[in-house]
Structure 1
């Protein structure tokens, strides 16, 4: 009977807000998001091997922030605030 009462409480606790993360870790995560807001990302791979012959691969990424025309610096700031509950501790490196 106790387990039946405990299980729903454990599930509800897991759905609650997560504690803020380390500000420097948040900066790293949010820099990636802000870089994606600067423009399309992608890669092209071309190769040849003796078993299968030539091969190619093309990947293109478009972030919703880029498509919405959001400023990458604002994307970074709002992301850090969302993850830590505080303003960024450093300027982003968006290179």
Structure 2
């Protein structure tokens, strides 16, 4: 019984540690997606043709996503700054969004 209680306590501690701040570099990489989403709607379309032996089959798929930051007209750089600080435990980004590796604004 005592062993089970210690195991539950250890598991709970690990779960809380997973919710802690990220290292700055990880937070910066993760927040690039939030900044990209603030630049405008994103979409994806797929169309295909195939056969299953009974004849020709076609399919199509279309997805659009719009972030609330885009709808509210927030500056992607500000979205990025707030995201990094939130995820890193208050540490500001090491450099501005537009100087981040991988940032293309799209």
Report the number of matched residues. Answer: 95
Of 32-41 and 16-25, more deviation after overlay is shown by: 16-25
Gaps of 5+ in 1: none
Structure number with higher relative contact order (C-alpha < 8 Å, ≥ 6 residues apart): 1
- Which residue is equivalent to 2:100? none
**Match of 1:90?**
95
Give the 4+ runs in structure 1 shifted more than 2 A.
12-19
The TM-score, its normalising length taken from structure 1, stands at 0.78
> Structure 1 residue 78 and structure 2 residue 82: aligned?
yes
Deviation, structure 1 residue 89? 1.1
Which structure 2 segments of 5+ residues have no match? 98-102
2:78 is equivalent to residue 55 of structure 1: no
TM-score, length basis structure 2: 0.71
Pairwise CA distance, 1:90: 2.6
